Structures are given as C-alpha cells and as structure tokens.
Amino acid sequence: MSGALEGIRVIDSTTMVAMPTALHIMADMGAEVIKVDSHTLFRGEGGVFPENDPGERHWDRDGSFNTLQRGKVGVTLNLKEDDAVNAFKDIVRVSDVIIENNRSGTMDRLGLGYDALRAVKPDLIYLSNTGFGYTGPWRSYAGIGRMFELTCGLSQFAGYEGEGPRRVGISFFDQHVGWMAVFAVLAALHHRDTTGEGQWVDFAMYQIGVSTLGDAVMDYISNGRSGSSMGNRHKYLSPHGVYQCKGDDRWIAITTENDDQWEALVDQMGSPGWAQEEKFADPILRWHNQDELDQLIGDWTKDKDQADLAYQLQKTGVPAMAVMDGRDFALDPHIKEREFFERVTHQPETDIGTRLYFGRPWKMSKTPAYIRRPAPMLGEHNEYVFGDLLGIDQGEIAKMYETNVIGKDPINPGSAKPTNLTRQIEQGVGSTIDPDYRQKLGI
C-alpha cells in the first residue's frame, strides 16, 4: 500500500538514536531511505542480542541497530576513498533529502557539506543535526541524547525534593528530536513543492529539549521565578502521586484535578472518616497536607491489584493508571488491539527470526504507515543502489569491492559478548526474566 511519503528518497548518514529514529519513521511512511553505513568502522562489543546471543554476525544481530534501521535499504561506503565520496554524490543526485548528524565541519571536510552537495542537486534538502546548532557560543560543543535532559533543565524538575536533580531515563530526548526532525523535513519538502527550492536545515537538539519545558521557561520570563524539583508531585494538584500496590514493585499513579474527581476517589475508598476532615476539605488544603494524604491513600492501595484498581478508578472519572514496565506494555491488550507492535521477519542469514517492533502513535486511513522491511544487513543493498539505481555495471561494482570502496563484511568486526542478565538483575538493572517470553508474545 502506498505511504504518505511514497516517491521520496532520503539518504541516512547518521548514527546514534535521534536521527535514525526520524529516518525509520519516514521509511514507515513510504520513503525510500538509503542507510549509508561503513564496513571499515569498529562496531563495538556491546549490544542487546536475540536470545542474548551475538551469533557469528553480531553486527547484523544487534537489537538497537535492527530497531533503529528498520525499513531502510543499506549500502556501505568507505568515505576515506575518493571513489566512495563520488559514489555518495551520485546517490545524492537521485535523492530528495539527506540527513546527517556529524560534528560541525565533518561533512565539509569530506567534501559532502551542503554547498558541495547543492552543486550536485540544487533542490536538495539537507538537514544537519548537531547538539547545539551551527551558531552561538556552544556551536562547537559535542552533544548526545543522554545529556540534554540535564542541559535543558528537565532533571531540575525530575528530582525529589531535597535530593537534587535526577536523570529521567536513557536518552530521553532522542525520540522527541527524531519526531521533530520529521516535521522539519516535511515542512522543507512542502516549501520545495511550492517554490522548487531546496534548503539547509540547521537542527539543534538542545533547543528541542528546552522547548518541551515551556511552562518553566514562561514562568521565569513572566515572573522571574525558577522552579525546583517536585518528584511525583504537582505545583497545585493534590493528590498527585504514585502509590504502591499488591505485588513486587507494582504501583499506580493517581491524581484529582477538581472536587468531583476527589469525591469520586473518596467514594471508591469507601468514604473513610479521615477524608471528611477539614484539612482535606478543598484543593488548597489537600495540597498543603499532601504528605499525610499520600500516606493515607498508599495505605488503601497497598493490597490492591494495580490494573484492576486503575480500571475501577477510570470508570468513575478519576485519572489513574497502572505504572507499567516493559512486559506490561508488550502484553497490554489495548496496545494489541491498536496493532501498535508489528511483526518483522528477518533475513535467514541473521538467525533472528520474527520479532516485534513498535509502530507509530497514529493511523492514517488513506496512506497507512507500517514497517516495510527488516533492517539491512551490512551492505545488503549495494547491488541494488549502485547497480539498479545508479546504473553502475557489475564489473565496476566488483572493482569497488576489490578496492575497499564498498564491502559486506566488516574489516574490524571486534568481538561481542552476551550480557550477563543475572548480574544485571542483581544490580537492579532488570527485575526478572521470562524464559517463555516468545510464547507470550506469540512469536
């Protein structure tokens, strides 16, 4: 079925998480995304592998790679060679968009900067993703996803009162950056369709993080007030917290936004006498007495099933939801009915089989998005791109292999060791292992 971006070709010259995310979304939407990889670079020793087994071709079995590169066609180019740089430019000639996320100046040094490629393809859309952008005093600073929740100020609000700032998670802003990059590219494509003009997009990750803290920034601009950490609490709503339920590390999030929701919560708790006390009579009093209120609500939730309680509270209009972990989400019946996870069968050579991959948070009735192919093995589509797409004859392609311009096996594959899952559980990185997880997932 045709996608919304059918007929658009995009070059993926990126690494890490944020921009690969943007590009696999565009691939899901029907764009032909050409992942430019390298067979000359060290692929690393770590990774999440199927059945925790790196296998003989660990570079093709890495879970992160297969998640982030799904839907793309893959080529290899050794950009230290002039012939590879020229081949890159040939791909640009037949493409619409290039996205790169190298340090400022890297692509220029390779002869692949915006000015050089605009000469090859005048209406090219060229997006450069850096940590802090190409202007300003921080323009030369390196930036990775894990640092931006700290730099933009999110961690200042994520910590618990009196304990200092905390990180939210692993590369929290990378996905936000990826989604916003899709928006920027689509806007540039619309402009090109209207005017015939390509353009350069100077895209800064730092500013994506700052823009998500709009209320905090506005509070300072309007009032000169800088916020502080609140943990699970809210600036004026109470109750507003996470409460322990029955079972090991099971929790429920509950809040009330008005008196009607508060009364519904009190009714569900059995109208205890303490809920009628003056100190809980209105939202302001509840907020000022939330330490005691949280304790009382926690005493009520501690012997209840988190999912059953969330369902019951939602039925009565109380905002509540079970705190879910990876297993809960993967097996959630709502997610299953929404068909959020999609089955992808990998190439036999990888010995990965069929796996589930998360989809997108939207459905389009006329131009559906879906995962169109598994992530490419290293150099899998060299013959398609250089032969079928660019018209290079087989003899010349063979010479490209011989001269190390392209390749299908890594020159420096390194070694990969399986993760010690038992040790991770002991360290608190994980909580449990389901040996029958594939049966539960239906794969």
**Percent above pLDDT 70 for the chain:** 99
pLDDT-derived band at 427, boundaries 50, 70, 90: confident
**Amino acid identity at 74:** G
Tell me which residue of 96, 97, 115, 95 sits closest to 105, measured CA to CA: 115
Tokens of 209: 């993080």
Residues 221-271: tens digit of each pLDDT:
999 998 888 889 998 999 999 999 999 999 999 999 999 999 999 999 999
Cβ neighbours, 10 Å, residue 64: 15
* pLDDT tens digits along 69-124: 999 999 999 999 999 999 999 999 999 999 999 988 899 999 999 999 999 999 99
**Rounded to an integer, what distance in angstroms lies between the CA atom of residue 34 and that of residue 76?**
10
What ranges do the domains of the chain cover? Answer: 9-211+338-441, 240-324
Q: For residue range 21-35, what is the model confidence (pLDDT) as tens digits? A: 999 999 999 999 999
DSSP string for residues in 126-139: EEEEESS-SSSTTT
Give CA–CA dist 405/358, Å, rounded. Answer: 34
Q: Is the bond preceding residue 137 a cis peptide, omega within 30 degrees?
A: no
Q: What is the pLDDT of residue 45?
A: 57
What is the β-pairing status of strands 32-37 and 73-76? parallel
SS3 content of the chain, % helix, strand, coil (to 5): 40, 10, 45
- How many residues in the chain? 443
Classify domain 240-324 by CATH number: 3.30.1540.10
Segment 148-171, tens digit of pLDDT? 988 988 888 888 888 888 888 777
- State in Å, rounded, how far the first CA of the chain is from the last one: 24
CA distances from 228 to 161, 239, 283, 288, 292 (A): 8, 19, 21, 17, 21
DSSP 311-327: HHHHHTT--EEE---HH
The confidence score (pLDDT) of residue 262 equals 98
Residue 129 pLDDT: 97
Q: Which two tokens stand for residue 73?
A: 């066609």
pLDDT at residue 50 tops 80: yes
Q: Residue 43 — very low, low, confident or very high, per pLDDT cuts 50/70/90?
A: low
CA distance 45 to 350: 17
Helices vs. strands in the chain: H and E counts, helices first: 21, 11
- Note the pLDDT tens digit of each residue in 277-292: 999 999 999 999 999 9
Residue 413 CB: number of other CB atoms within 10 A? 16
Q: What is the mean pLDDT of residues 169-186?
A: 91
* Averaged pLDDT score across all residues of the chain: 94
pLDDT at 298 over 60: yes
CA–CA distance, 123 with 317 (Å, rounded to integer): 53
**CATH number for the segment(s) 9-211+338-441:** 3.40.50.10540
pLDDT at 215 over 90: no
| DSSP code string of 1-35 | ---TTTT-EEEEE--SSHHHHHHHHHHHTT-EEEE
Per-residue pLDDT, averaged over 293-322, amounts to 98
- From the list 352, 407, 398, 408, the residue with the least C-alpha distance to 377 is 408
